[in-house]
Amino acid sequence: MKNYLILGLAIITVLFSCTTDDTSDIVINDNSTVNNNSGGETPSDDCIFLSGTYVEDLTLDANSCYKVNGSLIMASGTTLTIPAGMTLEALAAGANVYIAISQGAQIIANGTADSPIVMTSDAAAPSAGDWGGLILLGKAPINSVTGTSTSTSEIASLPFGGTDATDNSGSLRYVRVEYSGGAADGQSENNGFSFYGVGSGTSVEYIQAFEGKDDGIEFFGGTVNASYVSVVNAQDDSIDWTEGYTGTITNAYVKHGADHDKGIEADGFNTDFSNAAGYFSKPTVTNLTIIGLGSATGNEAIRLRAGTQGIFNNVLIQGFEEGFDLDGDAGDSPTGAGVISGDLSVTDVTFTDVTLNMKNDTAEIFTEAEFISGNGNATGTDYATWGASWTVE
């Protein structure tokens, strides 16, 4: 029996050794019954631990248990495949426990409505910020740099951005990220889903961020299109974009919990750096519902600033003091100029229990009617249909 164990460990060592000297070794800490039960007792944790930088493909087995216990980074050229129905736990140890898909790598995580993929905390009583979250980094354009230059992600310090608008970082379908958002410091915080320069070749649909400490979903530039997006109980902004994001968000549902900030916080560029490329974020958002806690509790449903542009269609906002808050100036952050030019507009919106539909804190003078048309015509997204069975609240 001892010989078989030694042989098995040798095979594992060969299979998971790195191919280059300058890349961190793959780390798979096997804590399973098969290889560690010499005493005949059932261990308390029967999972395979995953962390480190992977330079070969990693395909998870639907019949096995895995736990992310550090930074799991997929290097360029590799693919992480997660089967439908898998619950992938993460050690409740904060910011340094996360999954990152580097530039040139891919994730294939295709669940179904009946068998979603769940990434969650391993805590007995999980709470927001228990672990980091899911990070995708691509080669699509960002406006904080120019040409083939890249920027660096807040978490993991990995490069992102480039010139390939159709870059493909894989596929996310029916994926739920829970209890994420662990903060490394005041400036570097994980989100549920972080899309850094991710391209339109990436498939993103039916994703939910639940009970996150920071933003639910954030787009740092890029061109990725996201459909059927749910964010429930994010403690910071539910949906956030910056650095020249120009994709589409179609069918999105946001619901605030007791701790929250904006439903959407949108920046035209990253004001901590610069708008080196000289253009602004301009996504198209269609079929959006944002549910707040009531107009008496204050807060803004959607904050538009730093020159962001955007085309909003069919938006239902319920329970906020302010519907749209526009901030900007006549210099580097010309948010109001986008309204005047037609690059920032809302078509068909319904306000329920909202005190002020629009607040203009920009350098431009315009009326509500110049920014919003079709007041009272919106129905929002049909979340009761597409969010059934695989989401939680």
C-alpha span between 350 and 327 (Å, rounded): 22
What range defines the domain where residue 92 resides? 21-386
- Supply φ then ψ for residue 371, to 5 degrees: -100, -40
Tokens 């916080």 correspond to what residue? Answer: 265
CATH (domain of 379): 2.160.20
Amino acid 187: pLDDT:
57
Residue 1: inside a domain? no
**Distance set, CA 2 to CA 8, 63, 349 (Å):** 10, 25, 69
| CA distance linking residue 38 with residue 53, whole number of Å | 30
How many angstroms separate the CA atoms of 250 and 377, rounded? 18
Residue 164 lies in a domain: yes
Pairing of strands 151-152, 159-160: antiparallel
Q: 14 in a domain, yes or no?
A: no
Q: Is 9 inside any structural domain?
A: no
- 6 falls within a domain: no
| Residue 393 maps to a domain | no
User: What does each of the 393 residues of the chain score in pLDDT, given as a tens digit?
Assistant: 434 333 333 334 333 433 333 333 334 433 332 332 222 333 345 899 999 999 999 999 999 999 999 999 999 999 999 999 999 999 999 989 999 999 999 999 999 999 999 999 999 999 999 999 999 999 999 999 999 999 999 889 999 999 999 999 999 999 999 999 987 655 567 999 999 999 999 999 999 999 999 999 999 999 999 999 999 999 999 999 999 999 999 999 999 999 999 999 999 999 999 999 999 999 999 999 999 999 999 899 999 999 999 999 999 999 999 999 999 999 999 999 999 999 999 999 999 999 999 999 999 999 999 999 999 999 999 999 999 999 999
pLDDT of residue 189: 74
pLDDT at 298: 87
How would you label 24-33 residue by residue, b for 16+ Cβ within 10 Å and e otherwise? eebbbeebbe
Contact of 309 with 302, CB cutoff 8 Å: no
Note the pLDDT of residue 49.
98
Instruction: Measure the CA angle with vertex 205, ends 196 and 325; round to 5°.
Output: 65
Whole-number Cα distances in Å, 276 to 125, 200, 332, 362: 45, 22, 11, 22
Note the pTM of the prediction, 2 decimals.
0.89
Per-residue confidence (pLDDT) for residue 188, from 0 to 100 = 66
Tell me, yes or no, whether 185 lies in a domain.
yes
User: HEC string of the chain?
Assistant: CHHHHHHHHHHHHHHCCCCCCCCCCEEEEECCHHHHCCCCCCCCCCCEEEEEEECCCEECCCCCCEEEEEEEEECCCCEEEECCCCEEEECCCECCCEEEECCCCEEEEECCCCCCEEEEECCCCCCCCCECCEEEECCCCCCCCCCCCCEECCCCCCEECCCCCCCCCEEEEEEEEECCCCECCCCCECCCEEEECCCCCCEEEEEEEECCCCCCEEEECCCCEEEEEEEECCCCCCEEEECCCCCEEEEEEEECCCCCCCCEEEECCCCCCCCCCCCCCCCEEEEEEEECCCHHHCCEEEEEECCCCEEEEEEEEEEEEEEEEEECCCCCCCHHHHHHHCCEEEEEEEEEEEEEEEEEECCCCCCHHHHEEEECCCCCCCHHHHCCCCCCC
Q: According to the model, what pLDDT value does residue 38 have? A: 28
- Backbone dihedral angles phi then psi of residue 309, each to the nearest 5 degrees: -115, 175
Count of domains forming the chain: 1
* Residues contacting residue 304 through CB under 8 Å, at least 6 positions apart: 266, 310, 324, 325, 326, 327, 335, 344
Intra-chain end-to-end CA distance of the chain, in Å:
49
139 in a structural domain: yes
pLDDT score of 377: 98
The separation between CA 216 and the C-alpha centre of its own chain, rounded to angstroms, equals 6
